[in-house]
Every structure is written in structure tokens, then in C-alpha cells.
């Protein structure tokens, strides 16, 4: 089902974003091609052996980055579950409380991986570089947002989305979502020492 004809200010599909991330071409073009989140085959995603949550809660991969890093849901339920990023280099951390929040982060700051520890000027340079590499970035973002039933004008600012990322990396969600590797050792925090960046 294609949500591109849904009204721009009404969320489409009542919480069923994941199928669109892997089926709607404009959405795939942005998320897989720009934000490096490929959800085209969620059933085929599988975490590296032994990677699990210290709490024993379920860790379900639903998408991957080009590097092979994993986007995972935590616990039982639907798209409202917390989302963790698990890197092949041994780091992990929360990105969002629910898929809708992750979608908004990726739409407004697809360069979020480069945000930790950077000054506002450095982050602007990262964003400018993205736009130089992808001149139609804003148009692609807006088309993907509308295909998901989101009004581009209602998306959070880059600063707000990144501040939320920092908040999650420091708060109780991060503590509750500790990921351990196959030897039982905790993975490194995804955003250790991250500070809030004001753009």
C-alpha cells in the first residue's frame, strides 16, 4: 500500500511505518540511499551471534546500515518500542522511543552518526557536506515524509532531533537497553561523552 496520497498532516497507516520503509520507492530512496537505513527485507535481518540485551529482553533487528550495523526494536510490541543501533565495531545505544521518532530523526538529520562531540559549526559543516553530495536532499526528504503521511513543515528541527538523541544516550533508556556481546561484555556506548549541540 502506498501512502504518498495521504493528507500531509495526517499520519498514514496508523502506526504501520515499517512496511512503507521497505516498499514505497520514494521512502526507500531516502532512507536507504540518504539516511543509510535499509528496511527492504526486515524478515531477513539477523543480529550477530551472541549479541543480546543484558536485561534478557527481546532484541529484534528490523533494518541495517550499509556497513551491516543493525537497527533493532527492544522488547515486545510494535513500532512504539525503543529503537537501538548496534554497530559491528562493538558499540550500541538508543536512537528513539519508537519507529516514528527514528523516522523523524533520519528525515531531519540523516548525518546523525557524525553528530556526537561536534560543535555547532562542525555540525553545520557536516550538514552542508551532505547537501553538497546530495543537492536534492530537501526535496527527497519532503517526498519521503509525505509518502509516510508526515507534513515536512511539522518535522522537528535538526537541533531538537539531535538533542533528543543526546537525552536518550544519557538517560534511563540507555541504562535499561544495555547490549552485551557474545562474551558477555557490554558494548561501548554509541554516544559516550556526547553533549547537547545548539545549532
The predicted pLDDT at position 123 comes to: 82
Q: What parts of the chain have a pLDDT lower than 70?
A: 1-15, 43, 45, 192-199
The upper half-sphere exposure of residue 36, i.e. CA atoms within 13 Å in the direction of its Cβ, equals 14
HSE-up (13 A, CA, CB side) for residue 59: 25
For residue 15, what pLDDT is reported?
55
Which residues lie closer than 8 Å to 2 by C-beta, 6 or more apart?
20, 23, 24, 147
pLDDT at position 3: 35
Reduced to 3 states, what is the DSSP secondary structure of residue 158?
helix
* Closest of 70, 79, 134, 136 to residue 102, by C-alpha: 79
pTM for the predicted model, two decimal places: 0.85
Given this model, what pLDDT does residue 35 score? Answer: 95
For every residue of 118-141, DSSP letters joined together read --HHHHHHHHHHHHHH-TTHHHHH
Q: What is the structure's pLDDT at 124?
A: 83
Amino acid at each position: 500500500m502506498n501512502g504518498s496520497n495521504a493528507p500531509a498532516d495526517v499520519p498514514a497507516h496508523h502506526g504501520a511505518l515499517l512496511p512503507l520503509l521497505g516498499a514505497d520507492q520514494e521512502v526507500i530512496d531516502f532512507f536507504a540511499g540518504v539516511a543509510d537505513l535499509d528496511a527492504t527485507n526486515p524478515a531477513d535481518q539477523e543480529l550477530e551471534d551472541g549479541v543480546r540485551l543484558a536485561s534478557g529482553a527481546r532484541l529484534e533487528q528490523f533494518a541495517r546500515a550499509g556497513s551491516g550495523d543493525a537497527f533493532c526494536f527492544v522488547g515486545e510490541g510494535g513500532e512504539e518500542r525503543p529503537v537501538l543501533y548496534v554497530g559491528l565495531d562493538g558499540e550500541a545505544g538508543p536512537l528513539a522511543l519508537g519507529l516514528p521518532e527514528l523516522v523523524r530523526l533520519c528525515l531531519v538529520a540523516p548525518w546523525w552518526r557524525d553528530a556526537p562531540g561536534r560543535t555547532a559549526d562542525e555540525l553545520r559543516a557536516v550538514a552542508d557536506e551532505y547537501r553538497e553530495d546530495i543537492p536534492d536532499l530537501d526535496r527527497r526528504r519532503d517526498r519521503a515524509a509525505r509518502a509516510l503521511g508526515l507534513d515536512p513543515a511539522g518535522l522537528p528541527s535538526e537541533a531538537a532531533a539531535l538533542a533528543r538523541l543526546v537525552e536518550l544516550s544519557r538517560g534511563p533508556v540507555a541504562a535499561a537497553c544495555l547490549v552485551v556481546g557474545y562474551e558477555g561484555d557490554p558494548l561501548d556506548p554509541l554516544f559516550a561523552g556526547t553533549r547537547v549541540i545548539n545549532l
